[in-house]
Amino acid sequence: MNKTENQILVIFGASGDLTARKLVPALYNLYVADQLPDNFVVLGASRSDMTDTQFRNRVVLESSYLKDKIKDQDADYINTFANKFFYEDLGGSYDTDYQRLRTRVEDLKNKYQTSGNIIYYLSTPPTLYETIAQRLADAGMSTQNHGWKRLVVEKPFGYSLETAQQLNKGLQQFFKEHQIYRIDHYLGKETVQNLLVTRFANSIFEPLWNRNYIHHVEITNAEKVGVEKRGGYYDKSGALRDMFQNHLLQIVSLVVMEPPISDAPEDIRDEKVKALKSLRIMNDEQTLFDNTIRAQYTSSVIDGKEVKGYREEEGVDKNSTTETYAAIKFFVDNWRWKDIPFYVRTAKRMPTKVTEVVIHFKTPHHQIFKDSGVHDKDNKLIIRIQPDEGILVKFGVKVPGQGFKVERANLDFYYSSLVETHVMDAYERLLLDAMQGDATLYARADEVEAAWEFVDPILKYWEDGKDVRMYGYASGVWGPENSNDLIEGIGEWRNPGPNLTDDPGFCVIC
Ligand code: BG6
């Protein structure tokens, strides 16, 4: 286990939901696992008027997100954790002189001997990122003379290619690229990281991982929930910006990338950028019309309960044209993937919550079992990102009896079978990595820009292209009726169940 150096974590936007919901529970898990540095404090900073005690109550002692974890623990043990938290009111605005903040950080540093290492975690609206970075630099808080300084930023990272470039430039005026950590919580998921291991630590998959053996790749990200209380944010974002540009293209980059020369952060990130740059950008309207589908959920009754349509959700414009479903077909222009279609979809209000990657292999080029029924049953490798994390291989077996009838059987692995292993939550893993200076699982500036470069023309087309359609789908179904049009000629989307085992494979019960 790497040693984590003493440090201070300064959270901007500390009174917001993310701090209590994700960051503090992740820190608590690290505390329990004895992975916090010996000398470590958290300083929350935001515009709310709060004392240290009030902050501790809010994010630790009375937090509904920690309740279950701490209820049976010894009071001293919990207090020791809570006492690591401090709070500084920035006044009415983040755009202010940070000298007082600096003095507070210095005092904490001296009192708790945390050394000069500091992480600034920006959990504020993205419009404030550059302002905060500038104010930190103005106050001399970004220089690394006495200890390192790191800046962690949450998504969304830009609203378009242009705004992402501006933001990158803006931040890089005050912090060097190696100091900037752009969070994508999907990269913190074990199963997403396992894509690298599946591919590059086994010799059985990689030789097949190319256009000679793979017929097409399908990635599904489905959520059962609607936009919940985030209608205001979501309506300005939509599925493509909210999920596809970041989380799903990160997964795509791990599927597409070439083997890195080592597991060093920059080696992996270099290959991911190359992968994203090789996605074929769709520019003409006909291609965009043929290869993209967007849709919105409409009201429906699920399990006897009425659910609202997207346009009826709080904070959403009654005439909104923001998509809650996005399905994109695209190609990757490089040696490995030439002409192999990728189908990626993401949506809210689907029948279940599931994220998976399905590698569909080609059928054998010479088929000796002619009447076997094998022709429409390709081999599949299904990598289940969540839930019921695991891997499933579908392969052909002979049906007992005369002749050679072939059926598909399942070969599976479940993470849950690794009972001894504590699977880290995404934020826990990412925070620990940032604390240890490992940027492998964080997105680099050029990576983010390459992803926007691919997404931008789709967004522009959806905003003002000719013949653009917005389809509807009843909440609780697998998208609009025409969603299979995209896959025409190949079949249809694989609509998975919540459990990997639900996937039918051939078996003889008696
Ligand atoms: C967030 C999106 O980044 O990811 C949300 O903003 C989405 O809209 C969430 O619900 C999904 O994350 P997960 O880890 O639950 O799949």
For residue range 253-283, what is the model confidence (pLDDT) as tens digits?
A: 999 999 999 999 999 999 999 999 999 999 9
Rounded to the nearest angstrom, the distance between the alpha carbon of 18 and the centre of ligand 1 is 12
Specify the pLDDT at position 490: 75
- Contact yes or no for 262/273 (Cβ under 8 A): no
**Of residues 491 and 392, more confidently modeled:** 392
Per-residue model confidence (pLDDT) at position 420: 67
| 198/190 Cα distance (integer angstroms) | 12
Determine, yes or no, domain membership for 176.
Answer: no
Q: 188 C-alpha vs ligand 1 centroid, how far in Å? A: 13
**Helix or strand (DSSP H, E) at 431:** helix 426-436
With 0-12 / 13-18 / 19 or more C-beta atoms within 10 angstroms meaning exposed / middle / buried, residue 21 is middle
* 191 and 116 in a common domain: no
356 pocket-lining for ligand 1 (C-beta < 6 Å): no
Shared domain for 143 and 278, answered yes or no, is no
Q: How many domains does the structure of the chain reveal?
A: 2
Same domain? 334 vs 197: yes
Q: Are residues 395 and 480 in the same domain?
A: yes
| Residue 377 neighbours by CB distance under 10 Å | 16
pTM for the model:
0.93
Asked if residue 396 belongs to a domain, the reply is: yes
Is it the case that residue 447 has pLDDT exceeding 50?
yes
Cβ(242) – ligand 1 distance below 6 Å: yes
Question: What is the per-residue pLDDT for 385?
Answer: 92
Distance from the alpha carbon of residue 77 to the mean position of ligand 1, in angstroms:
32
pLDDT score, position 458: 97
Asked if residue 185 belongs to a known ligand binding site, the reply is yes
Report the number of secondary-structure helices (H) and strands (E) in the chain: 16, 17
Atom of ligand 1 nearest to the CA of 234: 8
301 & 357 share domain: yes
pLDDT in the model for residue 491: 78
pLDDT digits (tens, 9 = 90+) for 70-79: 988 999 999 9
Q: Which domain holds residue 82?
A: 7-154
Pair 289, 142 in one domain: no
Q: Is residue 116 part of a domain?
A: yes
CA 185 / ligand 1 centre spacing (Å):
8
- Say which residues have a Cβ less than 8 Å from residue 392's Cβ, sequence separation at least 6: 380, 381, 382, 384, 410, 411, 412, 413, 500, 503
Q: Is the CB of 154 under 6 A from ligand 1?
A: no
178, 215, 247, 422: the active-site residue: 247
Q: Does a structural domain hold residue 165?
A: no
Candidate of 225, 236, 243 to mutate for ligand 1, largest count of ligand atoms within 8 Å of Cβ: 243
Residues 101, 206 within the same domain = no
pLDDT digits (tens, 9 = 90+) for 306-354: 999 999 999 999 999 999 999 999 999 999 999 999 999 999 999 999 9
Same structural domain, 321 and 382: yes
| Domain harbouring 392, CATH code | 3.30.360.10
Q: Is 329 annotated as a binding residue?
A: no
> Using one digit for the tens of pLDDT, what is the confidence trace for 40-79?
999 999 999 999 999 999 999 999 999 999 988 999 999 9
Examine residue 181 and state whether it is found in any structural domain, yes or no: no
353 in a known ligand binding site: yes
- Rounded alpha-carbon distances, angstroms, from residue 197 to 148, 158, 191, 281: 31, 30, 10, 28
Is 166 part of a structural domain of the chain?
A: no
pLDDT at 176 over 70: yes
At which of 131, 154, 177 does a domain end? Answer: 154
Residue 419's pLDDT band, with cuts at 50, 70 and 90, is: low
Q: How far is the CA of 248 from the centre of ligand 1 (A)?
A: 11
Q: Is the pLDDT of residue 390 over 80?
A: yes
Give pLDDT tens digits for 360-380. 999 888 888 866 665 567 899
Active site (annotated) includes residue 215: no
Domain shared by 254 and 355, yes or no: yes
Percent of the chain with pLDDT over 70: 95
Which residue is closest in CA terms to ligand 1's atom 15?
A: 223
Pick the last residue of a domain from 109, 135, 154.
154
In the prediction, which pLDDT does 376 show? 60
Considering only 32-36, 61-65, 365-369, 480-484, which range has the smallest mean pLDDT? 365-369
| Percent of the chain whose pLDDT exceeds 90 | 76
Q: Residue 471 is which amino acid?
A: Y
Do 276 and 368 have their domain in common? yes
Of the residues 157, 241, 247, which should be mutated to test ligand 1's pocket, given the most ligand atoms within 8 Å of the CB?
Answer: 247
* 87: pLDDT strictly greater than 90: yes
Residue 398 marked in a binding site: no
- Average of per-residue pLDDT values in the chain: 92
168 in a structural domain = no
Question: The tokens of 232 are what?
Answer: 């205001």
Each residue's pLDDT tens digit, 153-170: 998 899 999 999 999 999
The residue among 218, 145, 153, 106 whose CA lies nearest residue 430 is: 153
CATH number at residue 79: 3.40.50.720
Task: Provide the pLDDT for residue 510.
Answer: 41
Token pair listed for 126? 């993205």
For ligand 1, what atom is nearest to the CA of residue 247? 3
Residue 507: per-residue pLDDT: 45
Q: In this structure, are residues 388 and 246 in contact, taking their beta carbons and an 8 Å threshold?
A: no
Largest CA distance in the chain: 84
Tell me the pLDDT band of 509, cut-offs 50, 70 and 90.
very low
Atom of ligand 1 nearest to the CA of 227: 8
Single out the residue in 102, 134, 154 at which a domain terminates. Answer: 154
Per the annotation, does 109 bind a ligand? no
Same domain, residue pair 303 and 421: yes
- Buried b / exposed e over 336-373, threshold 16 CB at 10 Å, is bbeebbbbbbbbbbbbbebbbbbbbbeeeeeeeeeebe
